[in-house]
Amino acid sequence: MEENAVESLAGRAYVVTGGGTGIGAATALRLAELGASVTVLGRRRDPLEAVAAEVGRRGGDALACPADVRDPAAVEEGVEAALDRFGRIDGLVNNAAGNFVTPAERLSPNGWRAVVDIVLNGSWNCTSAVARRMIDAGRPGSIVSVIATYAWTGHPGTVHSAAAKAGVVSMTRTLAVEWARYGIRLNCIAPGPTETEGAGSALWAAPEERERVLSSVPLRRFAGAPEIGDLTGFLLSDRAGYVTGAILTADGGQSLGRQIYGPPIGEGSGAAGTRR
Ligand code: HXC
């Protein structure tokens, strides 16, 4: 396989949901850099237009498509518009998410429904709309869903999101087997704390909160949104052609290293393996 990473998605066309901000926007820009045309789909027109314009300034081609992933008809319309514009569809990034931290006992039925609707039903709506078109066209493709490690560790305050993300993992594994016959690969990426405007202001706005989050990451830094976009580009590309039904965890070791506090072993005064 002689595929150059720099052009590994040349001529391809992808849909990125939640593509107007954060990891979704960074992913759209990276896919365009790798040679793909991109449709950014999300609820708010302005950020989508801004990302599409930025792709254009960098020499790529992008379509801004306002649609709520919870609405199957709107998703169908959006995917159809992407197909019309680019003449093909090679895959999807399920990035759109909704989340808020709340004690489970205070979560209302509507709060549960809103998050599960966006994360699980939205991912299914988009996956189904894109995959049916790839199957009809006899075209192989690749779908990546952005999840979180709490899909399997769980995390207090996020029962709605954790349950929905676990559903996305199960959907991914099921379809990876069922649709392998069509050459459709499905994988998940599980980013750890990632430096984005939204996360920064919502999840670690206070300096001490930021420090607390950082201290839970063995690599002692946040992920950059572009590096998560780059890994997604890799999973979409033929370089990952034998990878399906997998989860690529990119969390700086956070989900493994919760017990590590202090400097790396060997640099501090404690014996190797000592809990500090
Ligand atoms: C308690 C809340 C709440 C909060 C909303 N609700 N916010 N309850 N605490 N902070 C409740 C509302 O009261 C309402 O229930 C129900 O949820 C629906 O709220 P709406 O605002 O009407 O819904 P909607 O406009 O559809 O908004 C959906 C949303 C919102 C999920 C609630 O936050 C949203 O759209 N977020 C999109 C962006 C986002 O969240 N991105 C974060 C993704 S990050 P009642 O009973 O009052 O009617 C992520 C991964 C993080 O997911 C990983 C970290 C490692």
157 Ramachandran zone, left/alpha/beta (phi>0; psi -120 to 50): left
Decide if 275 is inside a domain.
no
d(CA 21, CA 44): 10
d(CA 216, CA 211): 9
Q: Model confidence at 263, in pLDDT bands (50, 70, 90)?
A: low
Decide if 146 is inside a domain.
yes
- The verdict on the CB of residue 223 being under 6 Å from ligand 1 is no
Residues 161-217 pLDDT 10s: 999 999 999 999 999 999 999 999 999 999 999 999 988 888 888 999 999 999 999
Contacts of 57 (CB under 8 A, 6+ apart): none
Residues with active-site annotation: 150
* Residue 259: pLDDT over 60: no
* Domain with 26 in it: 13-253
pLDDT at 269: 41
Nearest CA to ligand 1 atom 27: 114
Contacts of 202 (CB under 8 A, 6+ apart): none
Decide if 274 is inside a domain.
no
Q: Which residues pair with 38 in a beta bridge?
A: 14, 62
Decide if 68 is inside a domain.
yes
Q: How far is the CA of 114 from the centre of ligand 1 (A)?
A: 7
- CATH number for the domain that contains residue 206: 3.40.50.720
* Residue 270: pLDDT over 50: no
The tokens describing 115, both together, are 């998050």
d(CA 155, CA 254): 13
Decide if 145 is inside a domain.
yes
Greater confidence, 275 or 173? Answer: 173
pLDDT at 216: 93
Three-state DSSP class for residue 195: strand
Nearest CA to ligand 1 atom 53: 148
- The verdict on the CB of residue 111 being under 6 Å from ligand 1 is yes
d(CA 273, CA 276): 9
Three-state DSSP class for residue 146: strand
pLDDT at 190: 98
Decide if 82 is inside a domain.
yes
Residues 51-105 pLDDT 10s: 999 999 999 999 999 999 999 999 999 999 999 999 999 999 999 999 999 999 9
CB count within 10 Å of CB 175 equals: 21
Q: Report how many domains make up the chain.
A: 1
Q: How far is the CA of 101 from the centre of ligand 1 (A)?
A: 9
Q: Are 16 and 23 in contact (CB under 8 A)?
A: no
- The verdict on the CB of residue 237 being under 6 Å from ligand 1 is no
What are the distances in angstroms from CA 216 to CA 108, 129, 165, 211, 260? 30, 38, 21, 9, 8
Decide if 1 is inside a domain.
no
